[in-house]
Structure 1
Amino acid sequence: MITNLTDEEQLKLKVIESLLQKKIKTKQVGKILHLSTRQVRRLKNKVKRDGMVAVIHGLKSRISNNHIDFSIKNKVIETIKQKYTDFKPTFATEKLVENKNILISHETVRGWMIEAGLWKTHKQKQVAYRSWRPRKEHYGEMQQFDGSYHLWFENRYKDGTGESIEVCLLASIDDATSKITHMSFEENEGVIAVFHFWKTYVLALGKPLIIYLDKFSTYKINHKSAVDNKDLITQFERALRSLDIQLINAHSAQAKGRIERLFGTLQDRLVKEMRLAGVNNPKDGNKFLKEIFIPKFNRQFTVVPKSEGNVHQALNSNEEKRLNLIFSIHDKRKINNDFTIQFKNNYYQLEEIQPTTVRPKETVTIETWLDTTVHIIFKDFELHYFLIKERPKKMKLNPVILTNHSLNYVPPFNHPWRKMGRLVIEERRLKADISTLR
């Protein structure tokens, strides 16, 4: 058997040789090779004249008319080796067009990278079956939100010991359009960072109808930079309830697939984009995200929603005024008998004059704003206080309540109360004098 022929070519040669030896008829050859009688005769004559070459396709071993010049191929491979060695084929192709003006298909680049040992094909893993959830119909209807710890700045951002720092990237993606609506590098995914994120979001875009997030266990539980988030959902739910935003908790990473896939893409593309741009720290990273990466990403990957329109709701005037207290951490504390409040190793002394009546043992709300200022709230009133270094050991006799006026208040001489008192005394004296005259 001739080894340099394909199976189809070997079959043709064998059948035509049988025809030439009159072991088989023309009609039978036509059925076997799916050729007409005329085509069989022509092939028979070519084999008789040229031999084995007759069954080989005429374009075999010839360079295609669409062949890319070898110099371009070598240039592409060399560029990828120097600058894009860890890039995936599709991303490398985009960078070749963007930076070198070399326009070729990503499949061609993939083939060249495989030949050069720059890319290995991966077997698809068998995954568990999960039903598909359709996208929301409108932009702004639902935002998927999550955070991801990663060496976003590779080895260019280090701590004092020289160890590379993993930073948390918070991101939200619109469910209907796959548009990145906001991203921010933070130290962790704690309450303060999340509140900063969503305060910035609603001021810029308005209120989404739904926020879809997990319970913060999948990406923080084993990370050294993670903070205690046992009350994050409670604080976040309270803040979103004040803004009439629905919060939905996902119970698995797969449930919020769009944001999970986004982080997979970002850990590939964003890391390399920042490397090429020389971005080396979170501050410059946030500027790069806002001004360059997010607009570019959205132009490339955003899809058209089923229905037109933006359903983000604008903040009303009352919400705008209360935004600082909405996105603040709320804690409950009781008032001591000496009208002090202990909170996070600090003592706060309530002043004697307050906007409403305050009694010991009553519960107040301590609001810690994002600017770290502390506000003490009771019955929608903000109480007046001053910070003391430690709780006084000897306490003076204090009033049993605090009110909007001083309990030891002494009115001045010309006060109406005192005038009335003097008039009553004078009247009594006059009556006494008249009675003695009778």
Structure 2
Amino acid sequence: MGDKVTLSQRRLRQWHLLKMVLERRMTLTEASERMEVSYRHAKRLKHVVARDGPRGLIHGNTGRRPANAIALELRQKIVALSRTEYALFNDTHFTEKLFSVEGIRIGRETARRIRREAGILPKRRRRPARHRSRRVRRPQEGMMVLWDGSVHQWFGEDHRPCCLVAAIDDATSRCLAARFFPFESSQAYLWVLRQMLREYGIPLSIYQDRHSALKRNDPHWSLEEQLRGRQDPTQVGWALQELSIEPIYALSPQAKGRIERLFGTLQDRLIAELQRAGITDRERANLFLEGFLEAHNRQFSRTAEKPHKAWRPLPRGMDIDRVCSFRYEATVGNDNTVRLGGITIDIPAGPCRASYAKARVQVRQFLDGSWRIYYRGQQIAQHEATQLREPLRAMRRSKSRAKAASPYSWVYAASAPLR
């Protein structure tokens, strides 16, 4: 027991990269870029890990509150002022007004950091537009994955369009996972992520667009989000955060050129193969994809610049199905039930707790439609599978609309028209 070291996902990622450096499978410069630290700091971490192992990554001040930390109430007040009375003020002007009008004395850099962490962007971009150039491939497999969805008439012009969601490795252009879905959705990306984790492991980063399943683009803030100063991520974003996968957002379609070229190839070759096989439905097409992708990868994938792979192994005991699921926070009712998405889940009495009434629990709906309820990390209840729908957060918001509006007007359904 004394030899065990508990590390966060971020520290585990650093340990994985530094171990590759010590084994001479990666240069220290590349590791510092992946860890987003300076070369000097990466060099210090390397020496500490070589001497103390993973225990050396645990900082001595871990768990201690900094002496100069700004109080949470003051931080929340600064964020609230930034969003209301001083919404149009730049960082310097805002800092001056905090001191002269509000009596709050903080540095400009502190104010800037608080505003950026709260998602408040600068008034204008000061840097000139950068020259666009071809992005160099990552040197090792597993360093970066690109994924996207392509809505197309995959089964011919006489059939309804559907969406093919696929993921490729940036270093090799190998198609890691692909599947047909009715539309581009959180369920689709979670399925592809789960398949990729099972087959290969955890990538260091994922390059993606700003689809609503991947990035919050709405202006709606809950009270908890306003107090924290930041929005919760999407369902896919929660999974990436739990796995410590860095999301990289493309600013233009051209930035995703490699996976766009994959879809161009598939829209040519795959459609012809499906028509030749007489396949006109998603179920049979998904079975056909397994063999098709093997042949596709043999023909179109390339060798990475460096032979050693950068995939991170799954931590021992990690439940992939739980990670790649829909998650919601809920409060248990006085009758020890949780009501969510039109269903009621009964919670039996726990071994050390007579009642869970008023407790905050986490509700998970797995990709097979089944439900699980967790309290402090332990499963306390389950429910049979129901229809899998897009995040229920949107359903709760739609209740505030007029009664004439559909209660699911913000939620994709299997019968919803594709756009």
Per the normalisation by structure 2, the TM-score is 0.52
Shift of 1:385: 7.1
Q: Are 2:328 and 1:331 aligned?
A: yes
3-state secondary structure, aligned to 2:357: coil
Distance change in 2, residues 1:358/1:189 (3 Å): farther
CA contact (8 A) 1:215 1:250 kept: yes
1:164-222: CA deviations, max 9, x gaps?
21111011111111121221111222222221221112111222221111121699xxx
Provide the residue aligned with 1:152 in structure 2: 154
Alignment equivalent of 1:184, drawn from 166, 171, 179: 179
- Partner amino acid for 2:195? T
Provide the residue aligned with 2:295 in structure 1: 296
1:48-78: CA deviations, max 9, x gaps?
xxxxxxxxxxxxxxxxxxxxxxxxxxxxxxx
Q: Are 2:303 and 1:279 aligned?
A: no
Q: Write the mapping of 1:4-83 to structure 2, written as runs, cut at 5 A.
A: none
Provide the residue aligned with 2:369 in structure 1: 372
Q: Percent identity?
A: 33
CA distance in 1, matches of 2:232, 2:194: 15
- Partner amino acid for 1:318? G
CA distance in 2, matches of 1:155, 1:268: 14
CA distance in 2, matches of 1:357, 1:133: 59
1:336-364: CA deviations, max 9, x gaps?
23333221122233334455465533321
Distance change in 2, residues 1:273/1:368 (3 Å): same
- Partner amino acid for 2:342? N
Distance change in 2, residues 1:140/1:233 (3 Å): same
Count how many residue pairs are aligned between Structure 1 and Structure 2.
Answer: 240
CA distance in 2, matches of 1:284, 1:373: 24
- Partner amino acid for 2:185? G
3-state secondary structure, aligned to 2:297: helix
Q: Are 2:310 and 1:311 aligned?
A: yes
CA distance in 2, matches of 1:249, 1:275: 35
CA distance in 2, matches of 1:382, 1:143: 32
Distance change in 2, residues 1:216/1:232 (3 Å): farther
3-state secondary structure, aligned to 2:317: helix
3-state secondary structure, aligned to 2:193: helix
- Partner amino acid for 1:200? Q
3-state secondary structure, aligned to 2:166: strand
Structure 1 unpaired stretches of 5+:
1-127, 157-163, 220-230, 388-438
- Partner amino acid for 1:296? A
Provide the residue aligned with 1:209 in structure 2: 204
1:247-277: CA deviations, max 9, x gaps?
2222321121111121122222221222233
Provide the residue aligned with 1:360 in structure 2: 357
Provide the residue aligned with 1:265 in structure 2: 265
CA contact (8 A) 1:350 1:386 kept: no
3-state secondary structure, aligned to 1:148: strand
Q: Write the mapping of 1:395-434 to structure 2, written as runs, cut at 5 A.
A: none
CA distance in 2, matches of 1:232, 1:203: 26
Aligned-residue Cα RMSD (Å) equals: 2.8
Q: Write the mapping of 1:107-186 to structure 2, written as runs, cut at 5 A.
A: 130-155=132-157, 164-186=159-181
CA contact (8 A) 2:235 2:327 kept: yes
Distance change in 2, residues 1:361/1:155 (3 Å): same
3-state secondary structure, aligned to 2:234: helix
- Partner amino acid for 2:153? L
- Partner amino acid for 1:136? R
CA contact (8 A) 2:213 2:236 kept: no
CA contact (8 A) 1:145 1:172 kept: yes
- Partner amino acid for 1:383? I
CA contact (8 A) 1:367 1:376 kept: yes
Shift of 1:144: 0.4
Shift of 1:142: 0.8
Q: Write the mapping of 1:386-397 to structure 2, written as runs, cut at 5 A.
A: none
Shift of 1:329: 0.7
Provide the residue aligned with 1:40 in structure 2: none
CA contact (8 A) 1:356 1:381 kept: no
CA contact (8 A) 1:138 1:308 kept: yes
Shift of 1:147: 0.5
CA distance in 2, matches of 1:357, 1:239: 32
Q: Which one has a bigger Cα radius of gyration? A: 1
Structure 2 unpaired stretches of 5+:
1-129, 215-230, 385-419
Distance change in 2, residues 1:382/1:251 (3 Å): same
Alignment equivalent of 2:191, drawn from 192, 196, 205: 196
